[in-house]
Structure 1
Amino acid sequence: MFQQELENGIRIRVLEQSDIDAYHNLIMEAKDELKEWLTVSEKVATKEQTAENIAYQMKVNDPVPTLFMIEFENQLVGQISFHTVDDTNQSGEIGYWLLKAYQGHGIMTKALNFLITYGFMTLKFHRLEMKIAKGNTKSHLLAKRLGFRQEGVLKEAKYLNGQFIDYIVYGLLEQDK
């Protein structure tokens, strides 16, 4: 199993089939906060759906992981990934989320710094992207703190919570890191 110890009790690791209960509970705990910006909680409403989702994620991670869980003090607290990989153009789009109780403590910054380095060094990406909902202020600040530059706006790009939402595109090139 791939895992990387960061600092201050933070570990990055791949999701395993044995994580069904813990992952399902994590999503259910985060459901209300996730649905504001993401659709992940709709995909794992039952434990059966969670098992299917984990099997899919494990398949995506074979042979080279692109989706990781964030653990803090041995407890699952979030997820980071390249949820879109473009081998031809050597790029990846970053996705992430963290339980609200763990936000504001540098956990996501450390986790994404790992993912950025992993993307450029291991996956040999030339470019990374983040697409962030217009009103998600914390994520916009995080992208800028990590060195991403705003590149444009995708008008009404996602249908979320009964309305179309604009997404801001941020990019980071390997030579700019």
Structure 2
Amino acid sequence: MLHYDINDQLQLRMFTIDDAEALFQLTMASKPYLREWLGWLDYIETVDDSRQNIEGRIKGLMETGGYPKSFAIVYQGELAGTIGFNDINRGIKCGTVGYWLGQDFQGKGIMSQALETLIEYGFRDLGLNKIEIRVATGNVKSRALPEGLGFKQEGVLRDAEWLYDRYVDHVVYGLLRAEWTG
């Protein structure tokens, strides 16, 4: 099983079916907090929904030649969130990153460390030339991550996502392999 020990408290590892209950509980516990910026939360109603999500992640291994596209973020032995490539365009060697962290795990530097590790993985192991992150313009916390890691703002996509009762614009950030200094 592929995993990265970032430090003695934090690791990224592949999801397993055994994570379904923990993923569901984390999602439900953080749902009101996460709902502001994640449009899929109302589709998660049972542990089986989380299990199907994990099964889809595992099946995605075929798309990457056996390399996982997404990881469980484990902090002090507990599932804290997820990070990975929502999409990989093999033609232009570009991956688009998505991430979320449970509310109780915010403010500990977990996501910035996880993102640095994912960037390294994308450039080194997946052979990507570019990594993109798309974030709602109003999501200041999430925007701080790519900005702090040297991503360049490439533009704004208007009405890029429907969030329950409104459209939100997305800022598109990009980082080229040649620009990565990690």
**TM bucket normalised to smaller:** over 0.9
State the shift of 1:43 in Å. Answer: 3.2
TM-score (norm 2): 0.93
| Number of residue pairs the alignment of both structures matches | 177
Query: Which residue pairs with 2:35 in the alignment?
Result: 35
Distance in 2 (CA, whole Å) between partners of 1:110 and 1:61 is 23
Q: Structure 2: which 5+ runs fail to align?
A: none
Distance in 2 (CA, whole Å) between partners of 1:74 and 1:43 is 27
Superposition map of 1:136-147 within 5 A: 136-147=139-150
Query: Counterpart of 2:98 in 1: which secondary structure?
Result: strand
Deviations 1:148-173 (CA, angstroms, capped at 9, x unpaired):
11110000111102001000000000
Distance in 1 (CA, whole Å) between partners of 2:42 and 2:95 is 24
RMSD: 1.1
TM-score (norm 1): 0.96
Distance in 1 (CA, whole Å) between partners of 2:43 and 2:102 is 17
Query: Counterpart of 2:73 in 1: which secondary structure?
Result: strand
- 2:44 is aligned with 1:44: yes
Which amino acid in structure 2 is aligned with residue 81 of structure 1?
A: G
Superposition map of 1:81-160 within 5 A: 81-160=84-163
Check 1:43–1:14 CA distance in 2 against 1; reply closer, same or farther (3 A cut): farther
Deviations 1:20-76 (CA, angstroms, capped at 9, x unpaired):
111111111121122111124233211221221111111113421010010100000
Distance in 1 (CA, whole Å) between partners of 2:101 and 2:2 is 20
Query: Which residue pairs with 2:174 in the alignment?
Result: 171
Query: Counterpart of 1:61 in 2: which secondary structure?
Result: helix
Counterpart contact for 1:43–1:50, Cα < 8 Å: no
Counterpart contact for 1:156–1:165, Cα < 8 Å: yes
